[in-house]
Structure 1
Amino acid sequence: MNIPPQGIRLTSQNFITVSESISEDLRRGRSFRLRLEPWSERRTLSQNALFHLWMKELSDFLIKRGRSQCSPEWCKDAMKFTFLGFETNTYTDVKTGAQIERESLRMTSKLRASEMHHFMTQVQSWSLDIGCFLKVPATSEFFELSRKQEE
């Protein structure tokens, strides 16, 4: 069994298969770093939709205050730059085989739902600090998760 770099979902159904695969690698002399964390799915479409709505609201807010360059896409990149940072990606030239590493903003599509919620909370807090009140529909997943965390 080949375990991908992003990990696998370990369940009672696949535990024995995973255990056997790891045991075989250990017998061959390989060693591993094992980090267990609760499974969570990738960020949801609901989170993504609300985040893009927020970027439109933030853009409108900033443009009304003289920041004409602040398109929704600019706002999205600025929030990712500020709160998510960069990741290093390796690219391969298919003609020469040469590889280069480049840093690029982290992608929200690769965040887990809990990471996306944390990111959105940071964006919401920053927006409040500058006087921009982002709408959070009471029916949204973000609202529900925020309410659960307050309990």
Structure 2
Amino acid sequence: MPTITKDGIRLTSLNFNSVGKQISELLKIGDMRITVKPWREKRSLSQNALAHMWFGEISQFLIGHGRKYATEEWVKDAMKHSFLGYIETERINVVTGERITVSELKHTSSLDTGEMHHFLSQVELWAANINCRLTIPDNCEYRKLKDIQNA
């Protein structure tokens, strides 16, 4: 039986009937909205580790060039601001119950592996344009995907 997660249900030809039964049960509650899109794995731990290594390298580069404010956290936010953008999210004041919509930086944890690769490519290109050479370990996923693209 497929497991329902916050990311949805991975629908395959093997679990199609089982998913149909789960949906039938849900329809007893009322009408449902179902969105179907291609399944992609979330960004990998390798990609996340590389991004954080790069944020540190960019921070050191910028600080070395006089930008004392450029902490690793600042770099991370600046890269997300520049290349990922914002999402609208609802916040609720637990005291008053007031609901407001705010913009917040998109989280890399919400990206799939392809989207994360694209984000990392943008960061790498930006860094190269300011002569900041980033480390790309030979055994990392980004290197492997980059090599496949360039083959």
Both structures adopt the same fold (TM-score exceeding 0.5): yes
User: Structure 1: how far apart are the matches of 2:59 and 2:112?
Assistant: 25
Q: CA deviation at 1:40?
A: 1.7
* Matched residue SS, 2:89: strand
How many angstroms does 1:122 deviate by?
0.5
Residue 134 (structure 1) aligns with? 134
CA distance in 2 between partners of 1:6 and 1:99 (Å)? 25
Structure 2 counterpart of 1:10: 11
Supply the RMSD in Å over aligned alpha carbons.
2.6
Corresponding residue SS for 2:126: helix
Distance 1:134 1:31 in 2: 47
Aligned twin of 2:41:
41
1:91-106, aligned counterparts within 5 Å? Answer: 91-106=91-106
1-structure distance, mates of 2:5, 2:90: 16
Match of 1:70 in 2: 70
What letter is aligned with 1:96?
T
The aligned counterpart of 2:143 is 143
Normalised by the length of structure 1, the TM-score is 0.83
Deviations 1:125-145 (A, max 9, x none): 111111111010111111011
> CA–CA distance in 2 between the matches of 1:56 and 1:34?
38
Residue identity over aligned pairs, in percent, reads 45
The CA distance in 2 between the partners of 1:150 and 1:33, in whole Å, is 37
Q: Deviations over 1:38-91 (max 9, x none)?
A: x22111111111111101110111111111111111110000000000001111
Q: Which amino acid aligns with 1:111?
A: L
Shift in Å at residue 19 of structure 1? 3.9
Equivalent position amino acid for 1:13 in 2: L
AA paired with 1:104?
Answer: E
Unaligned runs of 5+ residues in structure 1 are: none
Point out where structure 2 has 5 or more consecutive residues left out of the alignment.
Answer: none
Moved over 6 A (4+): 23-26
CA, structure 1 residues 13+75, in 2 after alignment: closer, same or farther (shift >3 Å)? same
Alignment of 1:22-37 (within 5 A): 34-37=35-38
Q: Matches of 2:33 and 2:150 in 1, distance apart?
A: 37
Shift of 1:148: 1.7
Q: Distance in 2 between matches of 1:43 and 1:25?
A: 30
Which deviates more from structure 2 when the two are superposed, residues 76-85 or residues 6-15? Answer: 6-15
Number of residues of Structure 1 aligned to a counterpart in Structure 2? 149
Q: Which amino acid aligns with 2:93?
A: D
